[in-house]
């Protein structure tokens, strides 16, 4: 197998050039934030969260991920039903982990990149892992494994087609864990960004946080990345520069610049989520049925007239 060759701009296809155009910026175009923005955001969040955290039993902390927050703001009946279910891996859930691992391997791969080799390496890595995905892979059927390989290969091949090779100077990090502890550790916000590029320079923003998606645009994707921008601001003291969801099937970006207003609106969404969580879990509030596209794949649909009516009207 041959060594990968250095890529020049003229070697890039139009989709790859579009990625560079969307994500690139000169130093002078990057925003400089106030020096106290991290503390300001933290104070706002902690002050508003404290009254709800006092509802928590002693020695219990509140962990919020983008998934949890999205669920709480969606249909509360569905959220409460799924909360009691044990998490189970499936092909569509495992695909993201396999693709992200392949992206991570591709960043440091010294030979020419063959997508199928990297997807197989990624599968093999997880199969040897003692984590829950490893256990699932060891026990899944041949059909499930074949579907997982096929879907992962499709997504990873699209990534390689549409993205320019990631240069080390861009500081690419795949599956970057994000975590912020607030209120003396009583509230923990956590997440894992699919891909980050760049780094801040003092209080000049520089990081781009990217989510890679195989489906279509959904408003929740925007909220998910805003949540990551909030965590990044809390941990670094300076916000990221740009948020971008990249849709692999259509080779389209949904980018958003980070501002203080965006972060404060995300603080409000997190607090609203904590309030709903506290009311549902600790004050026995009756969960609300909130219909939407999620009704299509909701396990409660058969017995839910709200969901059935929504789907009937949206035909
Ligand atoms: S069918 Fe829709 S409204 Fe009913 S519980 Fe499920 S998500 Fe909620």
Task: Give per-residue pLDDT as tens, 224-282.
Answer: 999 999 999 999 999 999 999 999 999 999 999 999 999 999 999 999 999 999 999 98
pLDDT tens digit string along 290-307?
999 889 989 999 999 999
Which protein residue's CA is at the shortest distance from atom 7 of ligand 1? 295
Q: Which atom of ligand 1 sits closest to the CA of residue 77? A: 5
Do 270 and 301 share a structural domain? no
Residue 3 reports pLDDT greater than 60: no
Which protein residue's CA is at the shortest distance from atom 4 of ligand 1? 307
Do 74 and 203 share a structural domain? yes
Read off the DSSP letter of residue 33: -
Boundary (domain end) residue, out of 100, 133, 168: 168
Do 194 and 65 share a structural domain? yes
Distance 78 CA to ligand 1 centre (A): 6
pLDDT at 55: 81
pLDDT at 5: 57
Report residue 58's pLDDT band, with 50, 70 and 90 as the boundaries: confident
Boundary (domain end) residue, out of 119, 145, 168: 168
The domain in which residue 142 lies consists of: 88-168
- Best mutation site among 80, 83, 291, 297 for ligand 1 pocket (most ligand atoms within 8 Å of CB): 291
Do 32 and 76 share a structural domain? yes
pTM: predicted TM-score of the whole model, two decimal places: 0.92
74 within domain boundaries: yes
4 within domain boundaries: no
Q: Which of 96, 87, 151 is nearest to 126 (CA)?
A: 96
Distance 151 CA to ligand 1 centre (A): 28
Distance 64 CA to ligand 1 centre (A): 22
Residue 6 reports pLDDT greater than 70: no
Do 297 and 237 share a structural domain? no
Would you state the torsion angle of the CA atoms of residues 217, 219, 220, 225, taken in this order, to the nearest 10 degrees?
A: 80
Q: How far apart are CA 221 and CA 216, in angstroms?
A: 10
| Beta pairing partners, 250 | none
Report the domain count for the chain.
3
Boundary (domain end) residue, out of 130, 145, 168: 168
Residues lining ligand 1, judged by CB closer than 6 Å?
A: 75, 77-78, 289, 291, 294-295, 298, 300-301, 304, 306-307
Q: Are strands 62-64 and 252-257 parallel, antiparallel or unpaired?
A: unpaired
Alpha helix locations (H) across 74-218?
Answer: 76-83, 91-108, 115-127, 132-139, 142-162
Q: Which atom of ligand 1 sits closest to the CA of residue 291? A: 3
6 within domain boundaries: no
Do 192 and 76 share a structural domain? yes
Do 68 and 189 share a structural domain? yes
92 within domain boundaries: yes
Do 191 and 58 share a structural domain? yes
2 within domain boundaries: no
pLDDT tens digit string along 172-215?
999 899 999 999 999 999 999 999 999 999 999 999 999 999 88
Q: For the chain, how far is it from start to end, CA to CA, in angstroms?
A: 53
């Amino acid at each position: 197998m041959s060594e990968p060759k250095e890529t020049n701009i003229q070697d890039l296809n139009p989709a790859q050039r579009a990625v560079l155009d969307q994500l690139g910026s000169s130093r002078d175009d990057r925003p400089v934030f106030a020096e106290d923005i991290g503390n300001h955001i933290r104070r706002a969040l902690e002050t508003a969260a404290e009254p709800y955290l006092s509802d928590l039993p002693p020695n219990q902390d509140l962990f919020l991920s983008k998934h949890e927050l999205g669920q709480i703001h969606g249909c509360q009946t569905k959220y409460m039903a799924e909360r009691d279910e044990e998490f189970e891996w499936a092909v569509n859930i495992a695909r993201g982990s396999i693709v992200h691992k392949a992206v991570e391997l591709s960043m440091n791969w010294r030979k020419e990149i063959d997508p199928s080799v990297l997807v197989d390496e990624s599968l093999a890595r997880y199969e040897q892992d003692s984590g829950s995905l490893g256990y699932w892979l060891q026990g899944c059927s041949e059909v499930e494994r074949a579907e997982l390989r096929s879907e992962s290969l499709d997504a990873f091949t699209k990534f390689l087609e549409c993205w320019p090779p990631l240069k080390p100077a861009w500081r690419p990090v795949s599956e970057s864990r994000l975590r912020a502890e607030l209120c003396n550790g009583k509230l923990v916000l956590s997440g894992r960004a699919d891909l980050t590029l760049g780094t801040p320079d003092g209080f000049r923003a520089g990081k781009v946080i990217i989510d890679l998606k195989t489906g279509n645009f959904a408003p929740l994707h925007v909220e998910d990345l805003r949540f990551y921008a909030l965590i990044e601001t809390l941990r670094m003291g300076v916000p990221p520069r740009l948020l971008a969801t990249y849709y692999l099937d259509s080779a389209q970006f949904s980018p958003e610049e980070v501002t203080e207003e965006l972060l404060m609106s995300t603080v409000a969404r997190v607090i609203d989520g904590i309030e709903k969580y506290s009311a549902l879990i600790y004050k026995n509030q009756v969960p609300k049925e909130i219909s939407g596209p999620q009704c299509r794949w909701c396990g409660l649909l058969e017995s839910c007239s709200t969901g059935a009516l929504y789907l009937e009207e949206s035909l």
